[in-house]
Structure 1
């Protein structure tokens, strides 16, 4: 199934459904930053002593991306101007709709202590989110820079705009009160679709160079990250639809009882 036509947005029917989605998806938002920072460490390292980057144009792209992801500005309509990371904005959007941030907060607290491996094993992380992050960490551990760039470009920057358009359209239909989430989605659609996506793709091609083996790996990783994202969304979609069915089933006896009293 093509991800830009995935049925997940249509499974969001209520505010409770949106809460469940965000409680899963927030880990993908964090996962994005883990991947981006892994790229930065290799392509635009900030250690001492400093040495000139091998690919200055790519280093500039990565640093620009990091700057926008770590320190964007909320508009006045959302309480700005206020500088926040996109992750912090997403978490703020969760609080705005009453989504539970207990698990992601605990995971971040653990990771802040320097133990990322233990943080990723937190038992409260939803299984689909944990599987998705494990895939990314496996790529990072392998350390192939063109593979990481491929996961970033084709599994995030070039993919996210279509995924988020579906969500944004669904929120408009439902008219759910979630202004910060709407801004977050619109912001990523604009940034990724207009500039970040094409630049990320050019980064992949530059890093792969003329090496046939590297280009073959790019195609392989591209397929894998698409499959990983599809599996992630499939799992959330299943959870949403199962809950909807349970809610419908639990309401049927009361409906029958009420009809029998009239």
Structure 2
């Protein structure tokens, strides 16, 4: 069994618990979906910081430019960033996946005030810690994002890449999309933007980002058993943090 296969095997039980989480089946009304999105949007945002941290570390984004030795990993991360940061919306206009999610929230009537206030603070204060301490959000959501930034601050590329891959990618179950479609068909919500976001995310993750991300982890960990173990520990914790976030949202909508 290869290192990557062993890692996937060791994470499979926790991943299964997340994918089969009971929260999804309870998102059966507009009000519940709104509550979900108003909390989940912060996870959508900090996902972008994970991938940008990898791009910063694995490519050269400084001036003057110099070649980076992580050629394969650099190419892979640049391709992932291209789609995440500059994908297209329903009308073919370039937009990041975060912006697509905001559009989806607005369409179903969810408030974007807290996340937009947070983004404004990031722009002005230029600090995650100062910004997060000046916004009124759930301690569970804050803990989730704090974990992400603690991972980024390790500056260990193999750890960041593993959390990005196993803690974030390929975790949207088909059941969630079917529930959203059912709500849309019943005219309870207008959700073509959300359905597009979810289907687009799954399509890219399965066909492109998933395989690319696995290659990137293999390249970054090599045959270093310590790195593989660190990747496993961080990835498992990331999955557990997502489960904790889902538990919190589920309790709120019950």
Give the alignment's TM-score, normalised by structure 2.
Answer: 0.88
Deviation, 1:10, is 1.3
The aligned counterpart of 2:6 is none
**Residues in 1 aligned to 2:176 and 2:43: alpha-carbon distance in whole angstroms:** 15
**Residues in 1 aligned to 2:75 and 2:239: alpha-carbon distance in whole angstroms:** 27
**Residues in 2 aligned to 1:3 and 1:166: alpha-carbon distance in whole angstroms:** 13
Using CA pairs below 8 Å that are at least 6 residues apart, which structure has the higher relative contact order?
2
The aligned counterpart of 2:12 is none
Q: Say which SS state the counterpart of residue 111 (structure 2) adopts.
A: coil
Deviation, 1:39, is 0.7
Does the Cα contact within 8 Å between 1:39 and 1:62 map onto a contact in 2?
Answer: yes
1:123 to 2:135 alignment: yes
Q: Say which SS state the counterpart of residue 237 (structure 1) adopts.
A: helix
The aligned counterpart of 2:200 is 187
The aligned counterpart of 1:251 is none
**Residues in 1 aligned to 2:28 and 2:225: alpha-carbon distance in whole angstroms:** 47
The aligned counterpart of 2:250 is 237
**Residues in 1 aligned to 2:118 and 2:223: alpha-carbon distance in whole angstroms:** 41
Does the Cα contact within 8 Å between 1:139 and 1:148 map onto a contact in 2?
Answer: yes
Does the Cα contact within 8 Å between 1:165 and 1:189 map onto a contact in 2?
Answer: no
**Residues in 1 aligned to 2:77 and 2:200: alpha-carbon distance in whole angstroms:** 18
Change (3 A) 1:45 1:120: farther
**Residues in 1 aligned to 2:173 and 2:17: alpha-carbon distance in whole angstroms:** 14
**Residues in 2 aligned to 1:126 and 1:92: alpha-carbon distance in whole angstroms:** 22
**Residues in 1 aligned to 2:69 and 2:123: alpha-carbon distance in whole angstroms:** 30
Gaps of 5+ in 1: 242-262
Does the Cα contact within 8 Å between 2:73 and 2:220 map onto a contact in 1?
Answer: no
- Once the two structures are overlaid, the 10-residue window that deviates more, 36-45 or 46-55, is 46-55
Deviation, 1:167, is 1.6
1:6 to 2:18 alignment: no
Deviation, 1:123, is 3.3
Which protein is bigger by CA-based radius of gyration? 1
The aligned counterpart of 2:5 is none
**Residues in 1 aligned to 2:113 and 2:58: alpha-carbon distance in whole angstroms:** 34
The aligned counterpart of 2:229 is 216
**Residues in 2 aligned to 1:14 and 1:224: alpha-carbon distance in whole angstroms:** 30
Q: Say which SS state the counterpart of residue 61 (structure 1) adopts.
A: helix
Q: Say which SS state the counterpart of residue 219 (structure 2) adopts.
A: helix
**Residues in 2 aligned to 1:96 and 1:29: alpha-carbon distance in whole angstroms:** 17
**Residues in 1 aligned to 2:198 and 2:89: alpha-carbon distance in whole angstroms:** 13
The aligned counterpart of 1:93 is 104
Q: How many residues align?
A: 234
- Once the two structures are overlaid, the 10-residue window that deviates more, 130-139 or 164-173, is 164-173
Deviation, 1:47, is 0.4
Does the Cα contact within 8 Å between 2:181 and 2:195 map onto a contact in 1?
Answer: no
Change (3 A) 1:102 1:88: same
Deviation, 1:81, is 2.4
**Residues in 2 aligned to 1:131 and 1:209: alpha-carbon distance in whole angstroms:** 31
1:141 to 2:168 alignment: no
Q: Say which SS state the counterpart of residue 94 (structure 2) adopts.
A: strand
Deviation, 1:34, is 0.8
The aligned counterpart of 1:173 is 182
